């Protein structure tokens, strides 16, 4: 599978072509294609890790991807709420704002 389109990845490609190539080849071409977890399960785990680490840019794209992989908004909210006790309140609050930004952007696509 090819990596999903990403303007941010396109932006860095001229300066970091190997990093972008590795993203396409290993992250999306191999890791995301392994059969042991479904894409939905991979999205759930990835969102949880990104919430805990506080990596907002990647969280935004992976919440979008997770919704496309079958997670509901309610499930995304529950992941973030659950992690508030494990990753910390600030991480959960930050992630909740990222999620609402994604939800609102998705609503704008359908309006």
Interatomic CA distance for residues 21 and 95, integer angstroms: 28
Q: What is the pLDDT of residues 75-94, one digit of tens each?
A: 999 999 999 999 999 999 99
**Which pLDDT belongs to residue 22?**
94
Is 43 in the same domain as 27? no
Q: What is the pLDDT of residues 3-41, one digit of tens each?
A: 777 888 899 999 999 999 999 999 999 999 999 999 999
By the 8 A CB rule, do 86 and 51 touch? Answer: no
**Which pLDDT belongs to residue 1?**
58
Residue 111 has pLDDT above 60, yes or no: no
Is 71 in the same domain as 29? no
Is 29 in the same domain as 42? no
Into how many domains does the chain fold? 2
Structural domain including 30 reads 1-34
Is 102 in the same domain as 76? yes
Instruction: Quote the pTM value.
Output: 0.89
Which two three-digit tokens encode residue 17? 């072509």
């Amino acid at each position: 599978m090819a990596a999903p389109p990403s303007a941010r990845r396109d932006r860095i490609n001229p300066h970091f072509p190997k990093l972008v190539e590795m993203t396409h080849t290993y992250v999306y071409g191999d890791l995301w294609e392994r059969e042991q977890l479904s894409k939905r399960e991979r999205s759930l785990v990835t969102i949880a890790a990104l919430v805990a680490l506080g990596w907002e840019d990647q969280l935004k794209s992976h919440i979008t991807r997770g919704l496309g992989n079958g997670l509901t908004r309610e499930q995304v909210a529950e992941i973030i709420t659950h992690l508030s006790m494990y990753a910390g309140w600030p991480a959960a609050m930050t992630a909740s704002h990222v999620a609402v930004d994604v939800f609102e952007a998705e609503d704008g696509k359908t309006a």
